[in-house]
Amino acid sequence: MSEHHHDHDHDHSELSETELRVRALETILTEKGYVEPAALDAIIQAYETKIGPHNGARVVAKAWTDPAFKAALLEDGSKAIGTLGHVSRVGDHLVVVENTPERHNMVVCTLCSCYPWEMLGLPPVWYKASPYRSRAVKDPRGVLADFDVTLPEDIEIRVWDSTAETRFLVLPMRPEGTEGWSEEQLADLVTRDSMIGTGFPKTPGAPS
Amino acid sequence: MNGVHDMGGMDGFGKVEPEPNEPMFHADWESRVLAMVRAMGAAGAFNIDTSRFYRETLPPDVYLSSSYYKKWFLGLEEMLIEKGYLTRDEVAAGHAMQPAKALKHGKFDLSQVERVMVRGKFGRTAPAPAKFNIGDKVRAKNIHPATHTRLPRYVRGHVGVVELNHGCHVFPDSAAMELGENPQWLYTVVFEGRDLWGEDGDPTLKVSIDAFEPYLDPAS
């Protein structure tokens, strides 16, 4: 959206009905003194720059390299992450669930879109859309196939439906061939989807 | 409420379609809607459960055919009108015409932004001891309230096991209707996939929900 559009209300011809309605609402909220547009800009900028899956990736990489931190993380996710100065805004009630060779975890919110924003950023459209929300609890292997993910037939699948203010983060298994890697190197392998349970971390050496 | 939003286990919605290199917003207006919802919530115009309830009460055809942030926008507009922060005439005119209604926490300005970037706290002091212990068998009640609830339909009537106790939390069913926080114990309850979906269900599947104590009865 250009500045031109922001500043010229008469130029409606190029705007959709939704754009017009959203703009009208912001005008009313501003004129009534409820919100300051610059504060809305600041919220958006914070989401675009500060939050994202890099936060979760750092937590996962630390858990892969520091057994004491991993134990603390699985005991109380919010508390353990709170001890890391650089990822401190996690809020209460974050539960970290560990993938193992016997169990694969997946997170969904069948009722709306609950998701650990502070760890993963804003959720992708698919997470909030009907196909994922409807199928994840009934046919998780079918959903995983949509992501080209196949699991061994005997591995247990555990789906966590986020029906309260608890938030869930999947701790994926550390990829093989990463012995001796630093936390920073490992964090580069951690994908957003691997922390939702619809993907795996990247494989060392594979093209990204 | 038994709305279309409660879609766990429904069929017919098709494949999940991940979008490569998905942008954070698909249009600028989406980011404005996100910011307005966060700002007006932080200013005290509504709580998170009320805002969810307004989205759930969108007509089913509107809910299913609207994009995510469109639903947020429609819910926000209706909620602010019904709570007296704006009028339908103002929405039609696109400008303020009536005096403002006082916000519980005052105008949302730049000094408030840091605050909304931290997740709210929902844990509360327990008014009574927890009824259930970890390992207890519980049955999700067969209830169908016409108002907001966070007990999804697909577990109602089924028996699961209490796996985690998250402490006492704000009760969404009360908070959404502005009937107070009414804190309740919150548990992770895990169900066997085949108990939920029958013999054809995935034998390796376990599904958990986070259930407030009033949603549960003891089961043996």
Does residue B118 surpass a pLDDT of 90? no
- Count how many pairs of residues, chain A against chain B, have C-beta atoms within 8 Å: 259
Tokens of B172: 């969404």
Which of B207, B212, B215, B216 best probes binding to A when mutated, by most A CB atoms within 10 angstroms? B207
Is there a contact between A153 and B204 if contact means CB atoms under 8 Å apart? yes
Q: What is the mean pLDDT of residues B135-152?
A: 98
What pLDDT shows up at residue A90? 65
- Please report the sign of the dihedral spanned by the C-alpha atoms of residue B53, residue B35, residue B40, residue B94: negative
What pLDDT shows up at residue A66? 97
pLDDT digits over B119-134, tens only? Answer: 888 999 999 999 999 9
Q: Does A208 participate in catalysis according to the annotation?
A: no
Is there a contact between B73 and A21 if contact means CB atoms under 8 Å apart? yes
Taking contacts as CB-CB distances below 8 angstroms, the residues of chain A near B174 are none
Percent residues over pLDDT 90 in chain A: 83
Interface membership of A36 toward B (CB under 8 Å): yes
Q: Does A194 participate in catalysis according to the annotation?
A: no
What pLDDT shows up at residue A87? 61
Does residue B52 surpass a pLDDT of 70? yes
What pLDDT shows up at residue A1? 40
Is there a contact between B119 and A154 if contact means CB atoms under 8 Å apart? no
- Closest CB to B113 among A23, A39, A130: A39
Q: What residues contact B200, with CB distance under 8 A and at least 6 apart?
A: none
Residue B208's H or E segment, with its range, is: strand B205-212
Interface membership of A206 toward B (CB under 8 Å): no
Residue of A169, A34, A88 lying closest to B98 (CA atoms): A34
Q: Are strands B137-140 and B159-169 parallel, antiparallel or unpaired?
A: antiparallel
Give the span between the Cα atoms of B152 and B140, in whole angstroms.
Answer: 10
**Could you please report the per-residue DSSP string of B134-195?**
TT-EEEE-----SS-----GGGTT-EEEEEEEEEEE--HHHHTTTS----EEEEEEEEEHHH
**Could you please report the per-residue DSSP string of A30-89?**
HHTTSB-HHHHHHHHHHHHHT-SHHHHHHHHHHHHH-HHHHHHHHH-HHHHHHTSTTS--
Give the span between the Cα atoms of A126 and B19, in whole angstroms.
Answer: 8
Does residue B181 surpass a pLDDT of 90? yes
Q: Which residues in chain A show pLDDT less than 70?
A: 1-13, 86-90, 207-208
Minimum mean pLDDT range among A92-96, A106-110, B54-58, B208-212 = A92-96
What pLDDT shows up at residue A12? 52
| Active-site residue, from A113, A130, A134, A162 | A113
Distance in Å, alpha carbon of A84 to nearest chain B alpha carbon: 15
Percent residues over pLDDT 90 in chain B: 96
Q: Does A109 participate in catalysis according to the annotation?
A: yes
What pLDDT shows up at residue B115? 86
Is there a contact between A134 and B76 if contact means CB atoms under 8 Å apart? no
**Residues A48 and B38 sit within 8 Å (Cβ to Cβ):** no
pLDDT digits over A36-86, tens only? Answer: 999 999 999 999 988 899 999 999 999 999 999 999 999 999 999 988 876
Taking the model in full, what pTM does it have? 0.95
Q: What residues contact B199, with CB distance under 8 A and at least 6 apart?
A: none
Closest-CA residue of chain B to A111: B6
Taking contacts as CB-CB distances below 8 angstroms, the residues of chain A near B40 are 29, 34-35
Q: Does A112 participate in catalysis according to the annotation?
A: yes
- Closest CB to A124 among B19, B103, B118: B19
Does residue B117 surpass a pLDDT of 90? no
Is there a contact between B16 and A33 if contact means CB atoms under 8 Å apart? no
Q: What residues contact B102, with CB distance under 8 A and at least 6 apart?
A: none
Interface membership of A208 toward B (CB under 8 Å): no
Which of B153, B210, B216 best probes binding to A when mutated, by most A CB atoms within 10 angstroms? B210
Q: What residues contact A38, with CB distance under 8 A and at least 6 apart?
A: B109, B110
What pLDDT shows up at residue A13? 63
Is there a contact between B116 and A43 if contact means CB atoms under 8 Å apart? yes
ipTM value for the complex = 0.97
Taking contacts as CB-CB distances below 8 angstroms, the residues of chain B near A113 are 68
| Active-site residue, from A114, A134, A162, A208 | A114
**Residues A35 and A29 sit within 8 Å (Cβ to Cβ):** yes
Distance in Å, alpha carbon of B216 to nearest chain A alpha carbon: 14
In 10 A of CB A184, how many CB atoms?
A: 10
| Active-site residue, from A2, A16, A109, A182 | A109
Does residue B141 surpass a pLDDT of 60? yes
Is there a contact between A158 and B27 if contact means CB atoms under 8 Å apart? no
Closest-CA residue of chain B to A76: B166
